[in-house]
Amino acid sequence: MAESLSAATLWHSRWGQDWLVGLDSAAFWSQVEYRCGQLPAYSVVLLAEADPLDFLAGFYAACSKSCTLLLANPHWRQREWHQVAQVGIVPEVIWGSCSPTVFSRVDGSSWALPPAALLIPTGGSSGRLRFAIHTWNTLAAAVRGLQQHLRVDGINAYCVLPLYHVSGLMQAVRTLLSGGQLALQPFKALEQEGPLKIDPAEFVLSLVPTQLQRLLRRSAAAWLQQFQAIFLGGAPAWPALLAQAQGLPLALTYGMTETAAQIATLLPAEFRAGHRSSGRCLPHGQITIVDAEGRPLPPGSVGQIQIQAKSLALGYVPGPGLQASQFLPDDLGYVDAAGYLHVVGRGSTKIISGGENIFPQEVEAALLATGRVVDCAVVGLPDPLWGQAVTVLYVPQGAVTMAQLRHAIAPRLSRYKHPKHWIAISALPRNAQGKINRFELECLAHYCLQ
């Protein structure tokens, strides 16, 4: 198992190793050495590199010099960069390209950052950008927990997700800490050019549901079957997709930026045996289901998910800390008698229509199961009669009509859960990880119904 090494110690222990596939390892180490030589220790660094090698070298150099590091999406627009500028932390070094931004300390802001803090962006689905405060130790705890859960020492990762997101970043950290290899390939390149020349049986792959769907449509099942595990997360997977992937070594996961990615994971053997939960909690954490007053609920009872973990972020910039080392994500679920976590939906997206509770995830799954929509998302819009009206935005599969969709979901969904508004669009506002931007989605729904 990976020991708790400082970034500087790890650098020396792995110096010069050929650990990258798809990138030049020698060029990586050369660039790390150059950046370390140019970077004052304990600096505040903003990293917005689009090139994977540049990103990895900058990340590793900054960690090695005990810098405070702000990770940024190089594809952010002016709106996001404006939010970054307002968090009150002024970078002394900027690597990569960012929108012309004036950084200034916000009056009254004094974030209690730990030494060598790693600030990882989150909040894209809500439209409000903030940074989860991690350290090298919280990331290392997440790696050790996953190693113990999988009962492996080295982890080789095939990464098709962006490194500036926690789902991609943690793949790099896992391989570095465990002595493994990192194969890097943009997902578009995987689709257009085919896979890198590696032995899938020695690697784990991480995907979001829409990526898995696209690969299966390209008849890639034989290639996917060869992996040790395929971590599937970032967004809920629908039943029809999971049924199609029955023979694959899928490992359904539950995690987020605040937990340094996975905090619960279903093992591939469990998926193949028919389990469809998010798996059991990893050894470095604890998941409890609580009621509105914070009281633990018995197995099988739906409530709010509460997380305690050694990998837990210390707080947010801007924003509060996480009280008593506990985190309450906006997720509802239950833990069954065998300890498996089942995520029901998000508390803030729950729709109350005519006094009934409706979870968008259930409606979306019913629509996707018909095979007549390519993608869909459900929101609740204000309604004078119902309180909220179930509204679906969907990408139709061919020339399907609204009447046909209503008929198709009838046996799958209770009548009160049926959408009252149907909006056909060409594409949903999803980010690179497949997550819906809820803010943009609701604005789009309001605009279409005007």
Q: What is the CATH number of the domain that holds 204?
A: 3.40.50.12780
- Quick one: pLDDT at residue 125? 46
Look at strands 93-96 and 118-122 and give their pairing.
unpaired
Q: Do 296 and 332 sit in the same domain of this protein?
A: yes
Q: Do 88 and 157 sit in the same domain of this protein?
A: no
Tell me the pLDDT tens digit for each residue of 235-290: 778 788 899 999 999 999 999 999 999 999 999 999 999 999 999 999 999 999 99
Cβ–Cβ < 8 Å for 372, 396: yes
Q: Do 175 and 121 sit in the same domain of this protein?
A: no
245 within domain boundaries: yes
- Quick one: pLDDT at residue 281? 98
Q: Do 98 and 174 sit in the same domain of this protein?
A: no
Mean pLDDT of the chain: 90
Q: Do 82 and 107 sit in the same domain of this protein?
A: yes
Beta-carbon count within 10 A of 27 CB:
12
Q: Do 238 and 341 sit in the same domain of this protein?
A: yes
Tell me the pLDDT tens digit for each residue of 170-227: 999 999 999 999 999 999 999 999 999 999 999 999 998 889 989 999 999 999 999 9
Q: Do 373 and 343 sit in the same domain of this protein?
A: no
Distance, in Å, from the CA atom of 427 to the CA atom of 441, rounded to the nearest integer, reads 11
- Name the nearest CA neighbour of 279 among 332, 225, 339: 339
Tell me the pLDDT tens digit for each residue of 394-419: 999 999 999 999 999 998 888 889 99
Please report, for the domain that includes residue 34, its CATH number.
Answer: 3.40.50.980
- Quick one: pLDDT at residue 52? 96
441 within domain boundaries: yes
- Quick one: pLDDT at residue 324? 54
- Name the nearest CA neighbour of 161 among 118, 107, 208, 200: 208
320 within domain boundaries: no
pLDDT of 107 > 50? The answer is no
pLDDT bin (cut points 50, 70, 90) of residue 1 is low
Please report, for the domain that includes residue 420, its CATH number.
Answer: 3.30.300.30
1 within domain boundaries: no
Structure tokens at 6: 């400082």
pLDDT bin (cut points 50, 70, 90) of residue 4 is low
- Quick one: pLDDT at residue 386? 86
Structure tokens at 92: 């002394």
165 within domain boundaries: yes
- Quick one: pLDDT at residue 439? 83
For residue 430, what is the DSSP state? B
Structure tokens at 140: 């290392």
Tell me the pLDDT tens digit for each residue of 5-25: 676 777 778 889 999 999 999
**Torsion (CA) 182, 187, 191, 194 in degrees, nearest 10:** -10
Cβ–Cβ < 8 Å for 120, 311: no
Q: Do 130 and 174 sit in the same domain of this protein?
A: no
Q: Do 234 and 261 sit in the same domain of this protein?
A: yes
Q: Do 197 and 231 sit in the same domain of this protein?
A: yes
Tell me the pLDDT tens digit for each residue of 129-181: 889 999 999 999 999 999 999 999 999 999 999 999 999 999 999 999 999 99
Tell me the pLDDT tens digit for each residue of 13-70: 888 999 999 999 999 999 999 999 999 999 999 999 999 999 999 999 999 999 999 9
Q: Do 399 and 332 sit in the same domain of this protein?
A: no
φ, ψ dihedrals at 21, nearest 5°: -120, 130
pLDDT of 111 > 70? The answer is no
Give me the mean pLDDT over the 361-377 stretch.
Answer: 91
pLDDT bin (cut points 50, 70, 90) of residue 98 is confident
Three-state DSSP class for residue 303:
strand
Distance, in Å, from the CA atom of 250 to the CA atom of 444, rounded to the nearest integer, reads 34
pLDDT bin (cut points 50, 70, 90) of residue 108 is very low
Q: Do 193 and 298 sit in the same domain of this protein?
A: yes
259 within domain boundaries: yes
- Give the structural domain span for 95: 7-134
Count of domains in the chain?
A: 3
Would you report the helix, strand and coil content of the chain in percent, each value rounded to 5?
30, 25, 40
315 within domain boundaries: no
For residue 248, what is the DSSP state? S
319 within domain boundaries: no
Determine which helix (DSSP H) or strand (DSSP E) holds 438, and give its type and residue range: helix 438-448
Percent of the chain with pLDDT over 90: 68
